[in-house]
Chains A and B, each alone.
Chain A
Amino acid sequence: MSVYHLLVYIAISYYFFIYSIHLLHLALGHGAALKWKNMGYLEEAHRLTRSTLVPPVTLVAHLDAVDGDAVQWIDHLLGQRFPHLELILFARRGDERLRGVAEAYYLRRMDRVYRRFLPSPEPAALYQSGDRRLVLAEMEGEKGHALNLALNLSRYPLFAVLDRGPRLEEDALLCLIRPFMEGGSETAAVMGVEIPSEMEENYLLPGGRIARFSFMESLRLQLGYLAGAPYLGGPSVMSGSLIVYRKDDLLRAGGFRAGLSVTEAEMDMTIRLHRLLRAERRRYRFVLLPQVTLRRGFPRSWREHFRGYSRMRKGVAEAMWSGRDMLFRPRYGYLGMVQLPTFWLFVNLAPAIGLLSYAVAAALFALGKVGWLPFAAFLCVSSLYPGLVGAGAVFAARRELGILKGQGILLYAYAFLTQLWFRQLTAVAAFVRYGL
């Protein structure tokens, strides 16, 4: 076997290995979905609305992340069926909507006394509603700092970070806090499945090609990785439009890192929580509820898609770098020995390795150094095999989430095509455009 063949076979093995692991996560996620279903999550959630035992939750969001009418969005959040919740909102100084929100909710400016658990900047002004359910902080600092200020201001034991102005499904909050109430292992963080806000009617595919492809990618990530990863010591990173944490854990982990966007701060926090909980030798789990919990805007153009992707990649890179000391450390179990190394190789460095693999395989084939069989095998493993994973995620979504019913072959075609070119193109474009 020549060195050229060896190179192609390494590329084939790389893709085969990465997507086999992916398939394993998908299978585990499917098992998790069945488990949650058997435990009657949907049926029992509404009973919690009048319970006094439900832990209260603090919702935190930045007005910048809200598209459209902020007052309507706040109404939607405060109108959630949930025994006790408060909403802490941040707004940039000079944001026109700030005054509108303060007037709409009759917020009163307060010189509020709060505990400073973590270093955080002073808000320029704090407004509060009479029933203390809504707090609006006018900020001059960065968003990462704002999360720590929210931790200082929050009064409740659960802390939910909202991003990208999501609209929650009915009883979503109740479903999300249930894992925190269950015995056994402790729950470090919970998020649910996110779908595009355009999917109003019968959960059919959203309009716009980019939104569709990007939704397929998101499904693969959510159901094909996040749902199953907790069974293999993961997930390495977790970020979404709504993640619920235990405030106590966040404080002991030292709060969110300053100077990062919400996505990056959440990813970084995943690693820090892993480190903290492992160090304290506690049994814990991260949970992705295989249940639609919210709708949010999905990218509608290449520009938006690349921007989101590069933000995600930056977050992954930051988190991986901050958790580099956990690599190959047996004390971190599956996380240190499997999840993090795999993530480094197959996610953090994936665009570079992917681009290199395609370039090498294509060049060797064009130069006649390898025959059509190894090249075809490479194309199959790097494109068709991922297609299978994508189609599996759609299958799981149809079966477990009850969404995307009625578009049959078109749906699977999108799932397949996403893995055939969209993913590769995204990785290449991100590599070329942002050097990631």
Chain B
Amino acid sequence: MGTILFYLLLFIVVALAASAFYLLVRIIGIYLRARRLETMRNYETILYAALPKLGPEDTLRALLPQPDSAALEEVLLRMGDEAEGEWKEQVIQVYRIRGYADKRLRQLRSHSKPRRSDAARRLGRIGDPEAVGPLKDLLSDRREEVREAALFALGRIGTLPALRAMCEMLGAGDRWAQEKIAEAMEEMGDECHLVLCELLQEGNAACRAFAAEVAGTVGGNEEALLLEGALRDPEIDVRARAASSLGRLRHRASRPALRQALKDPAWEVRCQAAKALGLLGDGDDALALADALRDTSWWVRQNAASALQELGERGERALEAALWDGDRFARETAAQALEEAGLLEKLAMEMREGRVDRGKEKAVRRLAEMGRVGCIADFLGRSRERAVVEGFLSLLAGVEHPELEEARKRAAEREAAAPGGDKDGGGNAEASAGPGDERRERGSE
């Protein structure tokens, strides 16, 4: 019993001692961290105040002769994150004079993966242009984290040589690397156009494809001309991305080239060309896009139909005409596009206003004849305007479909239920508001 008690007490004492030790370590840790933060704040104040007046060397000699090395480096890195222009150069000078740059450049050759990666990130944060060469070597490091750190650093340095170095990663087809390069190009501004033009004429297809894609975001008129040339590239990927970029650039002068691309043997190119023509939004392209509704590829037909929706009145006319097309796929795609474009709501509005659009009326009847009555039945079910419902039902007279029969029955019941009701068709316009009347797309808010 005594032995058990002894061991129990021993256990309690050991547990208490361990807890006390743990608390002591935590308290010391917090104290040291607080002191370091205080030191860093002091350094920051000194650097912000003295650096513009005294310059890097005098500031260090006079005001920071024996600094806490780790704290000063951290302060400089934070300043490097935010600094720009001349101020950034001064920060880089201080970083170099204190020997941090040399130390980190040496560490880039270290055997330790975390050390290489950490050194690269620090050099990137400070933005020292002299580090571009060694960082470029690191892009072929066998460790993913190190390559990622080098890419990050080169992007942060953001000079033309850094961008060129980053572009060497394009051959690997790594989408993430492409993303980083695109970001760097965007941040660089006009200077990147030179690299973009070079890349568009590069021998490597992956580089050309990347440039063709990014040109849609950062390019201008000069790139648009090159992109038109890229529409004749032997690689499908390059042609497709070039077509997409021309659309995003809204370069209207490229419409003939894009119309030509609608006849490309590769469906990927045709599909992007159709989308681009939609973005350019010129009604003169309606005919070419209507032809694309008969394409053998599902995607091309879909994009052509969406593009026709974008063209407004002329596009819609082309879609309506396609409802009588000999090609079944063209008819169905056009029907879906017209439903999406709110054909029924538009016709209802015209009925309400007493206008008559024979084209729309015929199109609605044609939809029903094609058996696409889901949309119509749903519309009639929601609409509470007697005149509109009656107008639609008379338009669809003779078309047999169970859902239409149901809609007719419902309309008759409603008629019977409201004997003294509104016969003139003015009805409750608000209650009939459909998706086309009030475009409040919650998803896109």
In the complex, residue of chain B having the shortest beta-carbon distance to the beta carbon of A40: B152
Chain A residues whose C-beta falls within 8 Å of the C-beta of B445 in the assembled complex? 79
A51 within 8 A of B: yes
The reply to whether B213 and A52 contact each other, CB–CB distance below 8 Å, is: yes
Give A53 to B217 CA distance when docked, in angstroms.
10
Q: Contact mask A24-68 → B, CB, 8 Å, 1/0?
A: 000000000001001110001001100111110000000000000
Give A35 to B216 CA distance when docked, in angstroms.
34
A39 CB contact (under 8 Å) in B144, B175, B177: B144
The reply to whether B442 and A75 contact each other, CB–CB distance below 8 Å, is: yes
In the complex, residue of chain B having the shortest beta-carbon distance to the beta carbon of A134: B443
Chain A residues whose C-beta falls within 8 Å of the C-beta of B374 in the assembled complex? 109-111, 125-126
The reply to whether A113 and B336 contact each other, CB–CB distance below 8 Å, is: yes
Number of chain A residues close to chain B: CB under 8 A: 43
The reply to whether A47 and B216 contact each other, CB–CB distance below 8 Å, is: no
A105 within 8 A of B: yes
The reply to whether A53 and B179 contact each other, CB–CB distance below 8 Å, is: yes
Which of A178-186, A258-266, A376-384 contacts its partner? A178-186
Interface bin, chain B: 35 or more
A112 within 8 A of B: yes
Which of B27-35, B279-287, B405-413, B432-440 contacts its partner? B432-440
Query: Known: A111-B372, A184-B144. Contact between A105 and B179, CB under 8 A?
Result: no
The reply to whether A130 and B179 contact each other, CB–CB distance below 8 Å, is: no
A129 within 8 A of B: yes
A53 CB contact (under 8 Å) in B152, B213, B298, B442: B213
A sample of 8 cross-chain residue pairs with beta-carbon separation below 8 angstroms, ordered by A number, consists of A35-B144, A38-B117, A44-B152, A53-B213, A55-B175, A75-B442, A87-B443, A109-B374
The reply to whether B335 and A111 contact each other, CB–CB distance below 8 Å, is: yes
Chain A residues whose C-beta falls within 8 Å of the C-beta of B74 in the assembled complex? none
B233 within 8 A of A: no
Q: Contact mask A166-177 → B, CB, 8 Å, 1/0?
A: 000000000000
Give A219 to B144 CA distance when docked, in angstroms.
27
The reply to whether A106 and B435 contact each other, CB–CB distance below 8 Å, is: yes
The reply to whether B439 and A130 contact each other, CB–CB distance below 8 Å, is: yes
B148 within 8 A of A: yes
> Chain B's nearest CB lies how many Å from the CB of A178?
7
B3 within 8 A of A: no
A115 within 8 A of B: yes
> Chain B's nearest CB lies how many Å from the CB of A146?
19
In the complex, residue of chain B having the shortest beta-carbon distance to the beta carbon of A183: B174
B222 within 8 A of A: no
The reply to whether B375 and A108 contact each other, CB–CB distance below 8 Å, is: yes
Summarize B's interface: helix, strand, loop or mixed.
helix
Chain A residues whose C-beta falls within 8 Å of the C-beta of B373 in the assembled complex? 111
In the complex, residue of chain B having the shortest beta-carbon distance to the beta carbon of A79: B445
Q: Which of A88-142 contact B (CB under 8 A)?
A: 104-113, 115, 125-126, 128-134
The reply to whether B442 and A182 contact each other, CB–CB distance below 8 Å, is: no
Query: Known: A38-B117, A51-B179, A182-B175. Contact between A108 and B339, CB under 8 A?
Result: yes
The reply to whether A183 and B172 contact each other, CB–CB distance below 8 Å, is: yes
B340 within 8 A of A: yes
B378 within 8 A of A: yes
Q: Which of B149-185 contact A (CB under 8 A)?
A: 149, 152, 172-179, 182-183
Q: Contact mask B380-402 → A, CB, 8 Å, 1/0?
A: 00000000000000000000000
B435 CB contact (under 8 Å) in A52, A107, A183: A107
Q: Which of B116-166 contact A (CB under 8 A)?
A: 117, 144-145, 148-149, 152
A38 CB contact (under 8 Å) in B114, B216, B336: B114
The reply to whether B375 and A129 contact each other, CB–CB distance below 8 Å, is: no
> Chain B's nearest CB lies how many Å from the CB of A6?
32
Give A180 to B144 CA distance when docked, in angstroms.
14
> Chain B's nearest CB lies how many Å from the CB of A323?
29
> Chain B's nearest CB lies how many Å from the CB of A77?
9
Query: Known: A109-B374, A111-B339. Contact between A78 and B175, CB under 8 A?
Result: no
Q: Which 10 A-B pairs have the closest CB atoms?
A: A183-B174, A109-B378, A181-B175, A78-B443, A106-B435, A111-B372, A133-B443, A181-B176, A182-B176, A108-B435
Chain A residues whose C-beta falls within 8 Å of the C-beta of B114 in the assembled complex? 38
Give A321 to B368 CA distance when docked, in angstroms.
49
B375 CB contact (under 8 Å) in A44, A110, A130: A110
In the complex, residue of chain B having the shortest beta-carbon distance to the beta carbon of A52: B217
Chain A residues whose C-beta falls within 8 Å of the C-beta of B379 in the assembled complex? 109
Give A55 to B176 CA distance when docked, in angstroms.
11
Give A38 to B443 CA distance when docked, in angstroms.
35
The reply to whether A111 and B340 contact each other, CB–CB distance below 8 Å, is: no
The reply to whether B336 and A112 contact each other, CB–CB distance below 8 Å, is: yes
Give A38 to B152 CA distance when docked, in angstroms.
12
Give A62 to B213 CA distance when docked, in angstroms.
36
The reply to whether A106 and B298 contact each other, CB–CB distance below 8 Å, is: no
The reply to whether B443 and A131 contact each other, CB–CB distance below 8 Å, is: yes
B333 within 8 A of A: yes
Chain B residues whose C-beta falls within 8 Å of the C-beta of A108 in the assembled complex? 339-340, 342, 375, 378, 434-436
Query: Known: A110-B340, A131-B444. Contact between A178 and B435, CB under 8 A?
Result: no
Give A75 to B444 CA distance when docked, in angstroms.
10
The reply to whether A183 and B175 contact each other, CB–CB distance below 8 Å, is: yes
Give A74 to B335 CA distance when docked, in angstroms.
28
Query: Known: A39-B148, A47-B183, A130-B435. Contact between A110 and B339, CB under 8 A?
Result: yes
Max chain B Cβ within 10 angstroms of own Cβ: one of A113, A115, A178: A113
The reply to whether A183 and B375 contact each other, CB–CB distance below 8 Å, is: no
> Chain B's nearest CB lies how many Å from the CB of A87?
8
The reply to whether B375 and A111 contact each other, CB–CB distance below 8 Å, is: yes
Q: Which of A204-230 contact B (CB under 8 A)?
A: none
The reply to whether A106 and B441 contact each other, CB–CB distance below 8 Å, is: yes
Give A79 to B435 CA distance when docked, in angstroms.
20
The reply to whether B438 and A106 contact each other, CB–CB distance below 8 Å, is: yes
Give A183 to B178 CA distance when docked, in angstroms.
10
Give A74 to B443 CA distance when docked, in angstroms.
8
> Chain A's nearest CB lies how many Å from the CB of B347?
14
Give A110 to B152 CA distance when docked, in angstroms.
46
The reply to whether B378 and A130 contact each other, CB–CB distance below 8 Å, is: no
Give A78 to B176 CA distance when docked, in angstroms.
24
> Chain B's nearest CB lies how many Å from the CB of A101?
10
> Chain A's nearest CB lies how many Å from the CB of B294?
14
B332 within 8 A of A: yes
The reply to whether A106 and B375 contact each other, CB–CB distance below 8 Å, is: no
Chain B residues whose C-beta falls within 8 Å of the C-beta of A180 in the assembled complex? 175
